[in-house]
Amino acid sequence: MVSRFFIAVCVSLLLAACDRAPTLPKLSPHDVIVAFGDSLTHGTGASETSAYPAVLASLTSRTVINAGVPGDTTTSGLQRLPAVLAEYRPRLVLLCLGGNDMLRKLPEASTESNLRLLVQTIRASGANVVLIGVPAPKLFGGAPDFYTRIAEDMQLPLERDAFNEVLKDHRLKSDPIHANAAGYRQVAERMAEFLKEAGAL
């Protein structure tokens, strides 16, 4: 009876540990964060100082490099990622890619595979990763399930809703697929709160 009870307790604890969101090591004031992505990271639709990485830097008092390239797909992101990691040597990378893959109707399987390779490359450099979901470009799209699948399989912190909440509110958009300054500020505020909850700040 005791052994069965002990096993039940152990199983419960293991299940609770699996349900707990992945955490991040605390960043020092000198650690560099790289925001790696496409036009949503670049800040298309607003000024350079209004892009979410710039606002996040001011909110967190950390160096946040804007490594967003408009039009980037997960494939082109894989090609340029090593040089970005070598140049900035970040402690943390905020990975936000996949939107252009969806716009170009590229196979979801290849997008998911590329995102996994991006995560592996970042981790191999010694940096941690936060995955940011990009909503599908359709009404009530939301971030596709592959973001959740990657986060669960690779034990990654996932911010699934920051851009989804902004891009379904016309007051926060500069065009159908990009935020405006107010929208990027909201994303930055959500990311700052997310990083605090994950233990990075």
- pLDDT per residue over 76-135, tens digit each? 999 999 999 999 999 999 999 999 999 999 999 999 999 999 999 999 999 999 999 999
Label residues 146-157 b or e (16+ Cβ within 10 Å = b).
Answer: bbeebbeebebb
Taking the C-alpha atoms of residue 12 and residue 26, their distance in angstroms, rounded to an integer, is: 28
Q: What is the pLDDT of residues 162-194, one digit of tens each?
A: 999 999 999 999 999 999 999 999 999 999 999
| Cα–Cα distance, 150 to 135 (Å, whole number) | 15
Q: What is the pLDDT of residue 139?
A: 64
**Cα–Cα dist 37/73, whole Å:** 9
Compute and round to an integer the Cα radius of gyration of the chain: 18
pLDDT average, residue stretch 21-26: 89
Mean pLDDT over residues 129-158, rounded? 92
- Spatial separation of the C-alpha atoms in residues 172 and 147, rounded to whole Å: 23
Confidence of residue 13 (pLDDT cuts 50, 70, 90): very low
From the candidates 38, 42, 72, 178, which is the catalytic residue?
A: 178
Q: How confident is the model at residue 2 (pLDDT cuts 50, 70, 90)?
A: very low
Catalytic site residue 178?
A: yes
Percent of the chain with pLDDT over 90: 86
Q: Is 42 a catalytic residue?
A: no
Query: Domain limits at 143?
Result: 2-198
Residues 6+ apart with CB under 8 A from 72: 37, 38, 39, 80, 97, 100
Answer yes or no: are the C-beta atoms of 143 and 134 closer than 8 Å: yes
pLDDT of 140 higher than 60: yes
In the numeric block, which tokens belong to residue 24? 């991040």
Global pTM reads: 0.89
- Looking at the structure of the chain, the number of domains it has is 1
CATH code, domain carrying 170: 3.40.50.1110
Nearest Cα residue to 128 out of 11, 32, 46? 32
pLDDT at 22: 85
12, 28, 39, 153: the catalytic one is 39
Q: List residues bridging with 173 in a β-sheet.
A: 179
